[in-house]
Chains A and B, each alone.
Chain A
């Protein structure tokens, strides 16, 4: 199962920082997001793109995670050489993440 099957996502930018939200379609699957979509996995996924730290914020009220990725936009939106200087397309890469555990597996990892 891919993350895209259970969650949606949006990327935002400020300077050289990119943030990506990951929002459960069904709030019952939020614990699965918490256990599966860790900042370590996100950092590994974006190796070569994100040079700084990846910090995860949890928003259980809306069943969402927010990943804040430092030094992620080629020196900053206003000076990047990249075609997608804002990094708006990054959320699509994250949604391709492999998710282990089924729809019934809703207990957070220990």
Chain B
């Protein structure tokens, strides 16, 4: 079974493990060669709207045993909860069916296990839907849902303090839409060990989606902090899919990347000792280099010594990254310390409305007309008493991204886009902001074009820390309804 075996760190050798983690046992010899089991995990999506076909490529040509789809952003679960309020069977990822139909036949044929957080606010319905899709494709697959991340009852009206802003859960009151704990890898690993082909969770830590197959395949102890720390490094590097294979990286002339239109998604080759190499399907676009891995290692990381996860506090500070072959990078040195007593909970709440309007000006004097337009709208919002708690007046192409000070050094561009946005208490007020931009057509500076406007309710997210005993995750296997 030692197909595609390769040299790993030191004198250890990695061989692919059986899908259920019953491959070769660790053995020693007089030459001190250790045979280590390894698994290959593909990362098939880095956010809910991500490209579909790179996952198909991974399943077909990646020689992977596990495929992970990370599709649940910080706020997505709160929006999904709103969808579930309208439809009790809804509230899971809108692209679930398209992704499942694209990869399930290949995964079934090759025995690739699938792990995803596409369950969003309704993992059970997502699992039932997936079981129906599998059945309609003539596939016999065991589908498990992980439930228990919804901790709204435990949090609502509690005195738990909000981490990012002043106040408590109780003070948010009726504005709260959802409260979901970041679950760890254990329930997902349990589902895999119970024979699940597809594991669908709601809110779980993103690296845990990848840690679960490692724990399942290698039987890692849940208090082996260093292994869990290194496994978290692997999961963290893989969770944003294309961001480690050359996506979100290219800067022509400084950091060139070929083939971004057909970007290959990453594969993590993980050994039972935590050894890790990042690679991708040969011939796909993009690149796996030490530089792409370093950028992703620090992505969304604060103190590198304390990257707090549900299962471990990972330590990235001693990580080493080395290119061992083209599109093949070895990552070692991840460590960990004991997990914390609490779980982070993401709380979605209604936070007023945002109204916005945009319009463009071009040619000589475009910037001056854009500034005149902003002045007019500013005055109009006052004259017509639009109640806002915060506003922003931008010239896209001039100062919309980094403000006046940093933008002052640039020459005038050929065209600019006026953008006005404001925070309001009501939708009615929010709509009036866009209206005041749109009416620049006939009332504002010469030759404004392409006006757009929008108004939306804001679902914001804050966090609280919940004693971990108050979240009780469990595994539920589901069948397709006939």
Contact = CB atoms under 8 A, between A and B. Distances in A.
Contact of B299 (A10, A15, A25, A57): A10
Contacts of A81: 354, 390-392, 421-423
Contacts of B333: 61
B164 A8 contact: no
A47 interface: yes
A76 B162 CA distance: 14
Contacts of A48: 403-405
Interface in A58-99: 59, 61-64, 66, 68, 75-79, 81-84, 89-90, 93
Contacts of B459: 78
A28 interface: no
B197 to A, nearest CB: 33
B317 interface: yes
Contacts of B249: 8, 10
Contacts of B254: 4, 8
B369 to A, nearest CB: 20
Contacts, number: 121
A13 interface: yes
A83 B419 contact: yes
A4 B423 CA distance: 36
Given A13-B300, A21-B298, A81-B354, A62 B405 contact: no
B427 interface: no
B401 to A, nearest CB: 5
Interface in A29-43: none
B367 to A, nearest CB: 17
B260 interface: no
Interface string B318-353: 111100000000000100000000000000000100
B461 A15 contact: yes
B294 interface: yes
A84 B321 CA distance: 31
B295 A78 contact: no
Interface residues of B, number: 53
B302 interface: yes
B117 interface: no
A83 B243 CA distance: 22
* Highest count of chain B CB atoms <10 Å: which of A15, A63, A75, A90: A15
B298 A66 contact: yes
Contacts of A14: 74, 300, 302
B414 interface: no
Nearest to B164: A15
Contacts of A83: 394, 396, 400-401, 419
Nearest to B255: A8
Nearest to B404: A48
Given A59-B317, A61-B320, A19 B300 contact: yes
Given A62-B319, A66-B304, A93-B406, A78 B75 contact: yes
A54 interface: no
Nearest to A57: B304
B294 A78 contact: no
Contacts of A59: 298, 304, 316-317, 319
Contact of B302 (A4, A17, A89): A17
A16 B255 contact: no
Contacts of B163: 15
A10 B390 CA distance: 29
A5 to B, nearest CB: 8
Contacts of B248: 10
B297 interface: yes
A49 B303 CA distance: 21
A23 B303 contact: no
A30 B203 CA distance: 38
Closest 4 pairs between A and B when the two form their complex, measured CB to CB: A12-B300, A21-B298, A10-B295, A79-B460
6 contacts: A8-B255, A46-B406, A48-B404, A49-B406, A76-B460, A84-B400
Interface of A: 4, 8-10, 12-17, 19, 21, 23, 25, 45-49, 57, 59, 61-64, 66, 68, 75-79, 81-84, 89-90, 93
Given A61-B318, A76-B461, A89-B401, 14 more contacts: A8-B251, A10-B295, A14-B300, A15-B164, A16-B164, A23-B295, A48-B404, A59-B304, A61-B333, A63-B294, A77-B74, A78-B459, A81-B390, A83-B419
